Amino acid sequence: MTLSSSHPADAAARQPRWRARRLAVAAVATLAAALLIPSGVTGAYWTTAAAGTAVTPGVGDWCATPDPATNPRIIRLSDIPETTAADGAAIRMAIIPVANNAAWGGDGTTARTLAVKLRTCSTTIPAFTLRITAWSNSTANTGATTWATGGAVAPTSRLNVTAGRGSEIQKLARWGQSTTSPGATVSNLDSRRFSWLVSGPRTSSAPTAAPADCHNRDCTPNFAAVAGASAFVANNWTATAPSVTYSAATFALNNPAAGSDWGSAAGLNANGNPNSNSVVSATATTMAPSASDATALASTDGNLMQWVVIQWSGTTPPSDLLAEIVLL
């Protein structure tokens, strides 16, 4: 249909249609108005609001130690089993292989310092003694590597303390020498293998203390055990974090770039000429990245491999006395 016609009869016929269209336009306009009017105007309900009094939730006080079950770098002292050594002594000792590798959190490029972190939530520390030392491999034959747990340079591994290499290191940690009976003179060869963590003059209030200076390679390892109450920071509910970290230190020179070796005559970290009577200074026991367990276990300079020895004696410590081996 077109609208070109102008005949009067046609116009009359269109009148009803125009009326219908106008009514339709009115309806649409009404609907549009209804849709455009804010709903609040038409909302068929009431609302009311009121603010409650403000409060300030607060945090309380507690102490917590990490769970050794989920972090194998943490050793619960009371979990260290008792073993009878060859001399008949009942000892509580764990020998743990540590290298700067992925298992210990190493990134493959950064040298790290060996350390141990002691934590507890106990408010009182019972009467026991603690000694934590670290020893490098010997340049001599150290015997077979017999594992008590694990079989890699990893936090879950423990060396059998009464067999082969474990027996040797057990004697080192107890007596400072590995081949003879207690009381024998500690050899330079063995003393150069020694790093102290929690022994000798170290306490929680002096965690970086070193044994007295020595001269001309006359450095006797001071591996005397420390009273538990001195080694740990008891929980007194005031410290921000009831823990203390002990970094490993040694008199030995562990700088392969200088051509030295802990087993060599020039292995001590003397100021100036290491073979002179110069004072020997303690240095941090740092560990270079290690990519291979076989290489680490065969190394003798102490840069790739350290055996951390944790030993306690006396009253059994509470279950929340923990030692965590860390690479700083």
Partner 1 sequence: MKTPLTLALATGLAAVLLLGAQGSLASLTDSAAGPATVIQSGSLSMAVGNPTAAVNEVYGTAPAGVVVRPGSTGIIPGVQRQSYTYTITNTGTARATARLSAALAFSSPVEPRYSALRSSLQVSVSIDGQPEMIVVAAGSMASGAATVALPEQALVFTPNTQHTVVVRFSIPATSGTAAALIDSRSAAAEAVALFTFTPTFTLTQVPVAS
With binding defined as CB under 8 A, does residue 79 bind partner 1?
no
Q: What would the x/- binding string for partner 1 be over residues 113 to 142, using CB under 8 A?
A: --------x---------------------
Shortest Cβ 182–partner 1 spacing (Å): 37
Residues 229-248 that bind partner 1 (CB under 8 A): 235, 237-241
Query: Dihedrals φ, ψ of 104, to 5°?
Result: -100, 15
Task: Identify the CA nearest to 103 among candidates 325, 298, 256.
Answer: 325
With binding defined as CB under 8 A, does residue 60 bind partner 1?
yes
Pick from 1, 59, 90, 257 the residue near partner 1 by CB under 8 A.
59
* Complex with partner 1: residue 205 or 240, whichever CB lies closer: 240
Distance from C-alpha of 315 to C-alpha of 85, rounded to nearest angstrom: 19
Look up tokens 């003879």; give the residue: 180
For the chain, the distance separating the N- and C-terminal CA atoms, rounded to the nearest angstrom, is: 92
Q: What would the x/- binding string for partner 1 be over residues 182 to 221, using CB under 8 A?
A: ----------------------------------------
Pick from 2, 70, 141, 181 the residue near partner 1 by CB under 8 A.
70
The DSSP annotation for 95-150 comes to EEEE-BSGGGT--SS--EEEEEEEE---SS--SEEEEEEEEPPPSS------EEE-
Candidates 18-26, 146-154, 272-280, 289-297: pick the segment binding partner 1 (CB under 8 A): 18-26
Q: Name the burial class of residue 217, with classes exposed (0-12), middle (13-18) and buried (19+) by CB atoms within 10 angstroms of its CB.
A: buried
Contact 130, 224 (CB under 8 A): no
State the residues that interact with partner 1 by CB under 8 A.
18-19, 22-23, 25-27, 29-30, 33-34, 37, 41-67, 70, 121, 235, 237-241, 319-320
